Structure 1
Amino acid sequence: MPTDQGPTARHRRLATELRRLREEARLTPETTSGLLGWSRPKLVRIETAKGRPTVADVERILDVYGTDFATRAALLQLARDIRTRGWWAAFGDVLAGGYAELEDAANRIRTWQTEVVPGLLQTPDYARVLIAGAFPDDREEIDRRLQARMARRARFARTDAPELDFLVAEEVLRRPVGGPAVMASQLTTLIEAAEQPSVAIRIVPMAHGHRPGLGEGSVDIFEFSAPLELDTAHVETMGGSMYIEDITQVRRCSSMLDRIADAALSQEDSVVLFAAIREEFQAHVHA
């Protein structure tokens, strides 16, 4: 039975994969449950993550489907870890679990940002200004969300952190969020982040005028090496977040990021521009 908190991400992934394998085998729930010697409701509950299967249950299901070795091993590991929750569960009141799960599990994250500094690169002061804009009269909510955002950043100091590839429109860096002092500090953080071997941060300069992706907004692409994970694109809209798993659409997003990357400065030239813009903000601080 699921816990009061609901199924874990691993539980949901396992349920989804077991249903997909049954459908690929062209078996109905009735036929499959008969082959397993189970009731149909038991199988349906497993496939909808409303019932928690044992490792032995999953082994029996996979025997029926004739699953290949790699997939079988991956699914059995999911079954063993089915109760394990991610770090983000502690921030379930303010942090979107789906996004945090993708961010935590990805092997590579590609981001194109046209509005604000990417969340994983934001300083506390910069992030607080953005959060306060959405919750101007709720200091407790602001503090809680800031704590969650900084927890996200801390995760990427681990040794198995994913490769990060950021593309940022120059206008993002010139937008005085929080004022000159906050921006000068934020640019220092970007310069320091760019020194990390697993982090690439490149600027798409305003001087280009028209550029690829103009008017299409920001996007994140989470790339995976695991056989059971689909690369996923994430897009923010006025109506909320949209997650794209369709292979064709994800490839379209990836191709667009490739074209934007071709228009970006090199990492070295981007760091030079970071420093130049920082000097401009610092001049306003001391004026």
Structure 2
Amino acid sequence: MATVRLVPTVRRRRLGGALRKLRNQAGVSIETASEALGWDPSKLSRIENAKAHLPVKDVVPLLAQFNVTDPDVTKALEGLAQDANKTGWWTTYGNVVANGYKDYIGLEEDAESAHIYAQGVIPGLLQTGAYAREIIAGTGPSMTLDDVAALAEVRKKRQAALTDATRPTGPLKLWAVTHQAILSYRSAAHPTLMREQLRHLLDMTELPNMTIQVMPMDAPAHPGMAGSFHVIRFPSPWPTVINLENMRGGYFVEGTDEVKAFESAFELIVAAALPVDDSRETIKKIMEGNSA
């Protein structure tokens, strides 16, 4: 399975990869394109490898060498070129935010939608502060209290994407399927933690860009049993990216065949989960049965 590390910066890597793909599709060499623009060949090579900046004014002339005139493609590449060197808000947290997590947040910032299957914990975009702090501390026992607080703050800031109408694609569309076992978690240290978390989930179902389903305990076998994953989609022409989670933070998967496999898997997961209205009722019943 093909994997990809989206560093040093997500946007610069996406821009370079898109330019390389378009150049190869056109059958144009780096030398030929560079000569037509009066560039040293090493400049285009560095741009494609995310080691150099591409000024916005150079996007159209460069695309012309690849016979690309589609206005949507041009606009998308100009947007990436403009934002490629911008520092994301998450970088202010330094090494507390791991590189893989920084990559993911960078993708999430540009995404149009996210489809998530979660079988271990409630997705970060749906977590309350108290739940986030407990889960972060529990899954990262070597973290300091300051680190836990910082990462919980990062999750809170990520959630702004769900209601931010100023994003280029509007509020992030989220479709989350969570296993019922997650909802039944009980905190010995904070008895009201899950009641508040479940109340928050119910509130989030009221958002027009939100779909939440529950995978019941008696669900048939489904692809999600192999592990949690995220399907991150972008406006055209950018390809969908898959994020697979693990204890080290996760990794990315790209490529048409791999992406289609996970998109099909998510459709099967949705079919195996409770319908939206039944899911809401299940969340409500578990919340009402939780300690007050």
Q: TM-score range by the shorter chain?
A: 0.7 to 0.9
| Larger deviation, residues 196-205 vs 30-39 | 30-39
| Structure 1 unaligned residues grouped into runs of 5+ | 1-5
CA distance in 2, matches of 1:268, 1:56: 50
Q: Is the 8 A contact 1:163 1:199 kept in 2?
A: yes
Structure 1 equivalent of residue 266 of structure 2: 257
Higher relative contact order (CA 8 A, sep 6+): 2
- 1:212 pairs, out of 222, 225, 232, with 222
Residue identity opposite 2:228 in structure 1: S
Q: Is 1:142 aligned to residue 160 of structure 2?
A: no
Q: How many residue pairs end up in the alignment?
A: 276
- 2:75 pairs, out of 65, 73, 76, with 73
- 1:172 pairs, out of 155, 178, 182, with 182
CA-CA distance at 1:238 after TM superposition: 4.4
CA distance in 1, matches of 2:275, 2:127: 21
Identity of aligned residues (%): 32
Q: Is the 8 A contact 1:232 1:250 kept in 2?
A: yes
SS in 1 for 2:28: coil
Aligned pairs for 1:77-156 within 5 A: 77-95=79-97, 96-133=101-138, 134-136=140-142, 138-156=144-162
| Larger deviation, residues 136-145 vs 87-96 | 87-96
Residue identity opposite 1:223 in structure 2: R
Structure 2 equivalent of residue 42 of structure 1: 43
CA distance in 2, matches of 1:161, 1:244: 24
| Larger deviation, residues 73-82 vs 102-111 | 73-82
Aligned Cα root-mean-square deviation (Å): 2.1
Q: Deviations over 1:140-167 (max 9, x none)?
A: 1111111111111133221221211111
CA distance in 2, matches of 1:240, 1:8: 17
Relative to the length of structure 1, the TM-score reads: 0.88
SS in 1 for 2:250: strand
| Structure 2 unaligned residues grouped into runs of 5+ | 1-6
CA-CA distance at 1:179 after TM superposition: 4.7
Residue identity opposite 1:255 in structure 2: S
CA distance in 2, matches of 1:52, 1:166: 36
CA-CA distance at 1:60 after TM superposition: 2.6
CA distance in 2, matches of 1:258, 1:130: 28
